[in-house]
Structure 1
């Protein structure tokens, strides 16, 4: 049996669709970057034209087609022989890695709905995956409950929330802009139409306030201008809402740090809600949909409204815009809540999962 190169060596594997570079990273790549930097891990992912994140060893795979990508990942893993392998979003690859590298502890990290994911759609497939891996790690209790559907034994099925490195966040100005901000992908499930309708209803009653939208159909400067994006931009323009388009993640976080209110009005059940966590950590007053993992992330540190309810969203905007003390209370509660998700806290929990004989 091959032995791992080092008892403490760690390799983290990204999906082929995720770019590990500052200008193109999506939510999963940002999470992996934080955990890799905190734990000294190397990262395996698809090759990208832009430079990868500095300070983290990156092993690029030239192919994106599933079979070729998986083969490239496995070649790199067999060369590295890490003691711990964290595979994100790829159940079949995780099972195969566990079979080919039996001396390594392989964990599968799930960031999206597991019961519709290829390789996990049936209870039998989910049970088989649990048996073969050191652990299956869900980023929220919401996802963990869905994975557990139909399973009699859930040993090794755990929740590990996504991290946010609080020390790396920009400072907030002493006086925040009277701005209501949406930052996210411009797709129907993110509730952008509800944000536009709510802002259009609220802004005429809020002199001195403005609203802004940042985002594109995808992550990256070449995000396509889809028919849906064009329609939303036209509605935003008609309502007097500023349209920022795609912006790099660092710029998005700076915008959150200066806006008085940030909205995360998702219609679909968010698996976690990283944007909501970023908003709380930067001191914005948060309004979020009561959907998926968002209530789990937000707790009592934000206003929750029903998903798809533009009227309730507008009422929340009016309430917070008109009450400085309420915004201050939510800002303080949000910062305190965000400390629970600080990268050192989550990285320590991850290390305990790796070391446990039966992760819980």
Structure 2
């Protein structure tokens, strides 16, 4: 096989456009932006996952290792005995079982710390691709042993790189690189420029969990009490439309109901419907209250032509750049002030939307792939 890049995703995860979950989206985006003349990348995908897969990379299927629900508890205790996390490695070993058949490749292990020592570093180049803070349960010695073979540790934002570096030994710290995520600006582009109607259409898209801060956005809209604003919340706690509502989701629905006709809740919807909803938005809000590593929705909202407001926390400011508007995390009053300014000033709204769209176009997946190429060019 002739693959310059081989992507390792979590065993049991999918490589499908159904959900829009972060890692498959990133892998697809980077793969779609493969430079002309470069080898087509591959993705390791377990058999039995969603059969409708992205067409941007070759899929190498493998049979998943058998697992038990107590495996993670076993793994949690093994480092105390200075032993590797054998259960996680067992799963990833199944994923890379065919690596002797590959031509030499860069193996990008997405959030897959335990895959790094399983890659034959004499033949391939292992790279950890961190989308989240992964090392909180690791000691320094375990980190040094496990990540020692990694040629680089790629983080999706400088904020995540700074957090990750605090856990690393000095030698590993020097291998940390930042590759900001991108967006498919063409796929999200609004079909035709549309001026705002009588309502300011505010949209939230994301998982419905406390960290994402949808309750903060609801409170901001409640504080405004305006009749010329409509809020739409899109998403559930998971990636299935028929999941039972969690206590947090029930609370969000209760609060939303108090806004009457000026608010709508939409549970999980297919990816194509998410694109349409973003394209209809005047403003997209990313109100996270945790150290979000990047937040793909920022760039997706911008690409769809919306003005984007995001919390000033984690990697969100890096995604916003100078185009979007930052607000303190958890500050409903500050968020309400921004929404009021957009509702009252059509010119401000349109100027912000134009800046956001230009920012998305300048930070599409080709730009992200170019940044990754620069990192890989220095280590291969």
Could you say whether these structures have the same fold, taking a TM-score greater than 0.5 normalized by the shorter chain as the test?
yes
Identify which range, 261-270 or 160-169, moves more after superposition: 160-169
Alignment check: 8 A CA contact 1:78 1:101 kept: no
Give the corresponding residue for 1:169: 188
Give the corresponding residue for 1:282: 304
Alignment check: 8 A CA contact 1:88 1:109 kept: yes
The yes-or-no answer on 1:109 pairing with 2:104 is no
1:42-98 per-position Cα deviation (integer Å, ceiling 9, x unaligned): 11123314422235321233427445531221213333344211110011111221x
Alignment check: 8 A CA contact 2:7 2:107 kept: yes
Identify which range, 13-22 or 319-328, moves more after superposition: 13-22
Identify which range, 245-254 or 122-131, moves more after superposition: 122-131
1:152 to 170, 174, 189: 170
Alignment check: 8 A CA contact 2:44 2:95 kept: yes
Alignment check: 8 A CA contact 1:270 1:292 kept: yes
Give the corresponding residue for 2:288: 266
Identify which range, 168-177 or 30-39, moves more after superposition: 168-177
SS at match of 1:45: strand
Going from structure 1 to structure 2, the CA distance change for 1:215 and 1:79 (only over 3 Å counts) comes to: same
Alignment check: 8 A CA contact 1:173 1:258 kept: no
Give how far 1:129 is off.
5.2
Alignment check: 8 A CA contact 1:216 1:224 kept: no
Give the corresponding residue for 2:16: 21
Alignment of 1:68-147 (within 5 A): 68-97=90-119, 100-116=120-136, 118=137, 121-128=138-145, 131-147=148-164
Give how far 1:340 is off.
3.5
1:302-325 per-position Cα deviation (integer Å, ceiling 9, x unaligned): 221111111111111111111111
TM-score, normalised with respect to structure 2:
0.84
Going from structure 1 to structure 2, the CA distance change for 1:299 and 1:104 (only over 3 Å counts) comes to: same
User: C-alpha distance in 2, partners of 1:92/1:130?
Assistant: 8
User: C-alpha distance in 1, partners of 2:14/2:243?
Assistant: 13
Alignment check: 8 A CA contact 1:21 1:51 kept: yes
User: C-alpha distance in 2, partners of 1:104/1:222?
Assistant: 42
1:9 to 4, 16, 24: 4
Give the corresponding residue for 2:231: 211
Alignment check: 8 A CA contact 1:105 1:354 kept: no
The yes-or-no answer on 1:233 pairing with 2:233 is no
Give the corresponding residue for 1:61: 62
Give the corresponding residue for 1:42: 42
Going from structure 1 to structure 2, the CA distance change for 1:222 and 1:175 (only over 3 Å counts) comes to: same
Alignment check: 8 A CA contact 1:164 1:343 kept: yes
1:150-178 per-position Cα deviation (integer Å, ceiling 9, x unaligned): 64343221000112122222324422553
Give the corresponding residue for 1:179: 201
Going from structure 1 to structure 2, the CA distance change for 1:71 and 1:152 (only over 3 Å counts) comes to: closer
Alignment of 1:318-333 (within 5 A): 318-333=340-355
Going from structure 1 to structure 2, the CA distance change for 1:357 and 1:31 (only over 3 Å counts) comes to: closer
SS at match of 2:98: helix
2:264 to 230, 242, 247: 242
Alignment check: 8 A CA contact 2:185 2:300 kept: no
User: C-alpha distance in 2, partners of 1:49/1:277?
Assistant: 26
SS at match of 2:97: helix
User: C-alpha distance in 2, partners of 1:125/1:278?
Assistant: 37
